[in-house]
Amino acid sequence: MGQPKCDRCGLEGTILYEERFWSGSYTETLPDGTTATFETLCDDCHSSLVRN
Ligand SMILES: [Zn+2]
């Protein structure tokens, strides 16, 4: 198992932080109208996306 890394902001996790990372398929519509897909998000980014 490698260390998790946030696809959105690039934050790298450690074993201690592993539970704070979210795996799945998350999409975000960017200001320019394109859509970005993330498979791994840190807790901060996950909160930002889920809030929408
Ligand atoms: Zn992040």
More confident residue, 49 or 52: 49
Query: How much is the average pLDDT of 4-23?
Result: 85
Query: Residue 13 and residue 27: Cα distance in Å, rounded?
Result: 21
pLDDT number for residue 18: 62
Please determine, for residue 46, whether its predicted confidence score (pLDDT) is greater than 90.
yes
Distance set, CA 47 to CA 1, 2, 43, 50 (Å) = 24, 23, 6, 5
Query: Distance from the CA of 27 to the center of ligand 1, in angstroms?
Result: 13
Q: Find the 21 Cα to ligand 1 centroid distance in Å.
A: 9
Q: State pLDDT tens for residues 17-35.
A: 666 899 999 999 999 999 9
pLDDT at 5 over 70: yes
* 36 CA from centroid of ligand 1 (Å): 13
Give the pTM: 0.79
Among 22, 21, 49, residue whose Cα is nearest residue 35: 49
Give the closest residue to 28 by CA, choosing from 6, 5, 45: 45
